[in-house]
Structure 1
Amino acid sequence: MKNLSLLALMLFLGLTQPALAQEISTKKLINNHFKAIEKYKTLDIEDESMEQFIMRGTMAVGEIKNIPLTITYWKSHARMEMEFMGAKMIQVSNDSISWTKDPFAKGYTFEKEDGDVDALGFDETKAYDLKELIELAGWEPLEVKETVLDSLEVYELMIKTKASDLNDIESDLTYSFYFEKDTYFMIGVSHDDVYSLSLNYDVIDNILLPTVYLSISEEDGVMRMDISEYDFETSIDAALFEMTQEVREAYSAHLQAEKSKTSEPSPIQVLFEEGVSLLGEKKYDDAIKKFNKALEINANDNIVLNRRGLAKLYSGDTYGAIADFGRAMELADSTEYPTLYNNLGLAKYYLGDYKGARADYEKALAADSFNINYNQNMGLLMFRFDDYEGVDKYYSRAIAIDSTVGKSYYHRAIGRAELGKYEEAYADYVKAGELGVDLAEYHNYKAVTLYRLERYSEAGEAVQAAIERDSTNNQYYYNLAEIYEVNEEYNKAVEQYNHLLRRDSTLHRVYAARALAYWELSLMKAARADIDKAISMSPESAVYYDYRAYIKEEAGDYTGAIEDYTSSLNLEQDANIYYRRGLAKINISNKFDACTDFKKAAELGNEDGKQALSEHCKL
């Protein structure tokens, strides 16, 4: 949910335009707030009575909701645990360092603790103490307004900032603080489209505690914590905040890696990085040369072999890529197998070995099912098997892992459209567009789904958007013409067909389609000329004979229509065409042969044929 617009933020919050200010001054509001909270304690981890406690609840980040969450505080230490898709993420921090075990990243990450400052610039140990901000930091209250936050009527106090050592905030900025109108509790603060809200206060042991935390910004989207329990009584084990042997080993490796970054890079590292840069610039041959030189220094560097394999793959040397990936697999440790299996699968996909690609992708996913790229690749492969349920499954997994990637919604939309789930497909197309997908083919696919939903005007707009982005694709013009036809705008359809035939006069299906448009316009001579042209160019297309038969019937030439229906049926058995030929035979009083056609149509399941058999062929 990155890149939220201001409008989207306002819709989420339910912010309305300010009403007329109530008769309350800034001074009175601040005094009422101080009075309201003076009998309570507020959450302060520096207060000895609150130096250890546990918060339990759920978290929602973007579209991923109901993530079980536990946060344990002990003196200056904190431990957060979250469960997601059967995996547990753990983050521990103390005065000097924090470490995170991320099951999706397959390892630990470490960060130095430089003090807790939130996105609004507040020091989290002093964050929103209004008395300190006004009396010690010298912030200046400006005005009070009435506002609505998500249906909750609140006071909005606007304050001008002044820089101080209390928080990392510049002078002369305007911050908004929000207060419940009934209780005068502070429920949040905002500045520059970043919001931090604490809602639904409870009192436990005389401590004023919010049960809902919201953090909202355009950059990071929406994060929400719903706290179901605060526990100040539990005895907390200090060992929860200590590094295990596994963490110590990972931290040692982290320190070694950090140290190596400051060291002079080796010749092989320089060549490798130059090759990676060229690979990113799509200069594949030059990248391969750099990787070759690196491998002259160490022929058994599996990392270099893997990247050279990718360069070969993208340059068209698929077999060479497979050889490099295979050699890298022999040299790599097990942690690198998922990446190599994925790359092998990709190479086999390019070769058209879809079964082989599937086997390799399955191995990659068995080792790391939370990798978005592996799920996306498997989802794309499922199109080759016409397994649209599989497309939905793997792209849904990719979206659960990262809901900000537009192409996942785009491909899932295509799969859902193939399953006939047009409403769901359209919703995915809209989401993909919001996330930046703007390909010509995206607009065309969306148009097809809108067409299936009988939203023809919007379908036409989507196809025109596709044409604006790629005016060379004949299919887009053809689709636009079909939309005009369903809207009975036959002249506009003819214009599109004319345009296509000026570009390529060998398009027999365009002649056939234009013939039907001319027929609807009662331009029978032009319609006949076009369908004759289509048949001469593609005499094996049964449907063209059907079209010409319709035109002949319109002109009263039933004998000619019967001939074309017969040509069509010689190429392709069709119950409806038997029925139509039977009707033509009725029109020339050939009842016996007509009944034979009606019988054949009925045997093939055509209901009109059954009715005609009953009506015209009574025994």
Structure 2
Amino acid sequence: MKVLLSFFSILFVFTNAFAQDEELQAKKDSLIQNDSLYQVAEAERHYNKGVTLMEQDKFSQAISEFDLALNVLQDFSKAVFNRGMCFMSMKQYDKAIGDFKGTLKRDSTYHEAHFQIGRAKLEKADPNAAYESFSMAIQMEPKEAKYYYYRGMLYFQKTDYKSAIKDYDEAIRLKHNYAYAYNDRGSAKRKLDDLTGAIADYTMAVKSDPGLSFAYNNLGSAKRQNKDYKGAISEYNQAIRLKDDYYIAYNNRGMAKYELEDYEGAVSDFSKAIKIKPDYAYALNNRASALIRLEKYKEAVEDCNLAIGKNSDYAYAYYNRGIAKEMLRELDDACADWQKAEILGVEVAAEYRRVTCVK
């Protein structure tokens, strides 16, 4: 009986010891779990602070917070990605690309990282690499409108307007009020001489976002090309109302007024464009054209001189200066200008020389 009691006593001791070991392990596991939870919480605290600083355009400080988050939690893909976005905003594109690649190492499904690599490559004037990144983003997430829009931009730059239109179509299908996609699709259609389609798209662009001054300007230019000069002026007015220093819109409105034979109004608009951008050679030459119509030949010559000073190969400035000089009875100089214009590709200048200059 004593032996039996002794056995149970030993058994009890061992059982109690095992219970103590399990309890100790549970405490250790709990500590490890609590430590991990603390690390996650600490990383998220730095991450959230970084996001707030990003929203305030304090990018260097935001980067410091994302660094701290990553020191605590190395696999924090969002922290790496947002640090890359900070570098993008600071135009440090190589560092940005490094972070976006780091994001993909941590999370290979992070399609936005491919897209941002494409944007950075675009900024680095590497359109082929950008195209690959945008295409990869589309492959991973075919329902994101902006991925198609950006690839469409690349097609447009390559003058592949039909492919650009296809990508803009898809962007608009996914996002019906995508004003930028409507605007750019309109520009692609205009390049393909589809003025009706271009006007429809520009109209949708300003309807989707009435604050887009450049879309009104583009709509005006499409209408002007379609010989709807009054309609064009109306659109340019809207562009200028939204952006009062929009020198391109002033120049374009001046061209529409010129077509309506409102030469004084044209001179006024060209002058406003030049005041905003004094080196705007196109506006200087256009003002010279209007001044010739107003028989102000000396002023026209002065404007052509300025335009040529800005761009020594400006063919139409030589052509217009030749016309003004002919009217000032400076025939030799006029013929020299027309010869230069002809060399630079203005075919009508050759006809002027043939009729006026051949003795």
Please classify the TM superposition score into its range, dividing by the shorter chain length.
Answer: 0.7 to 0.9
Q: Which residue of 1 aligns with 2:63?
A: 288
Contact 1:407–1:437 (8 Å) recurs in 2? no
- Partner of residue 41 from structure 2, selected from 266, 282, 290: 266
Residue 221 (structure 2) pairs with residue 448 (structure 1): yes
Could you give the per-residue CA deviations for residues 186-220 of structure 1, whole angstroms, max 9, x where no partner exists?
Answer: xxxxxxxxxxxxxxxxxxxxxxxxxxxxxxxxxxx
* Pairwise CA distance, 1:554: 4.0
Could you give the per-residue CA deviations for residues 333-360 of structure 1, whole angstroms, max 9, x where no partner exists?
Answer: 4x32x22211211111121111111011
* Pairwise CA distance, 1:547: 0.9
Matches within 5 A, 1:234-249: none
- Aligned partner of residue 369 in structure 1, secondary structure: coil
Q: Which residue of 1 aligns with 2:139?
A: 366
| Farther-moved stretch of structure 1 (528-537 vs 379-388) | 528-537
Could you give the per-residue CA deviations for residues 351-396 of structure 1, whole angstroms, max 9, x where no partner exists?
Answer: 1111111011111212222221211221223233222222211111
Matches within 5 A, 1:320-469: 320-333=95-108, 335-336=109-110, 338-469=111-242
Q: Which residue of 1 aligns with 2:357?
A: 585
* Pairwise CA distance, 1:490: 0.3
Distance 1:538 1:349 in 2: 28
Contact 1:354–1:384 (8 Å) recurs in 2? no
Cα distance change on mapping 1:371 and 1:531 into 2, 3 Å: closer
Residue 80 (structure 2) pairs with residue 305 (structure 1): yes
Q: Which residue of 2 aligns with 1:34?
A: none
What are the ranges of 5 or more consecutive residues in structure 1 without an aligned counterpart? 1-262, 591-619
Distance 2:106 2:310 in 1: 58
Residue 252 (structure 2) pairs with residue 494 (structure 1): no
* Pairwise CA distance, 1:317: 1.6
Distance 1:507 1:436 in 2: 29
- Partner of residue 54 from structure 2, selected from 264, 269, 279: 279
Q: Which residue of 2 aligns with 1:179?
A: none
Cα distance change on mapping 1:275 and 1:509 into 2, 3 Å: same
Contact 1:406–1:437 (8 Å) recurs in 2? no
Report how many residues are paired: 322
Cα distance change on mapping 1:396 and 1:437 into 2, 3 Å: farther
Could you give the per-residue CA deviations for residues 246-279 of structure 1, whole angstroms, max 9, x where no partner exists?
Answer: xxxxxxxxxxxxxxxxx99722223223333433
Distance 1:397 1:533 in 2: 46
Contact 1:440–1:465 (8 Å) recurs in 2? yes
Residue 314 (structure 2) pairs with residue 314 (structure 1): no
Contact 2:213–2:238 (8 Å) recurs in 1? yes
Q: Which residue of 2 aligns with 1:480?
A: 253
Distance 2:122 2:188 in 1: 19
Cα distance change on mapping 1:390 and 1:287 into 2, 3 Å: farther
**Structure 1 or 2: more helix by fraction:** 2
Contact 1:318–1:351 (8 Å) recurs in 2? yes
Distance 2:280 2:346 in 1: 25
Cα distance change on mapping 1:423 and 1:480 into 2, 3 Å: same
Identity %: 21
Cα distance change on mapping 1:568 and 1:373 into 2, 3 Å: closer
- Aligned partner of residue 345 in structure 1, secondary structure: helix
Matches within 5 A, 1:224-243: none
TM-score, normalised via structure 2 length: 0.81
Matches within 5 A, 1:109-124: none
What are the ranges of 5 or more consecutive residues in structure 2 without an aligned counterpart? 1-36
Structure with the larger RCO, 1 or 2 (CA within 8 Å, 6+ apart): 1
Distance 1:402 1:565 in 2: 52
Q: Which residue of 2 aligns with 1:162?
A: none
Contact 2:247–2:272 (8 Å) recurs in 1? no
Distance 1:412 1:536 in 2: 36
The one-letter amino acid of 2:351's match is Y
The one-letter amino acid of 1:276's match is V
**Structure 1 or 2: more strand by fraction:** 1
Distance 2:105 2:311 in 1: 54
- Aligned partner of residue 143 in structure 2, secondary structure: coil
* Pairwise CA distance, 1:560: 3.8
* Pairwise CA distance, 1:531: 3.1
Cα distance change on mapping 1:574 and 1:480 into 2, 3 Å: closer
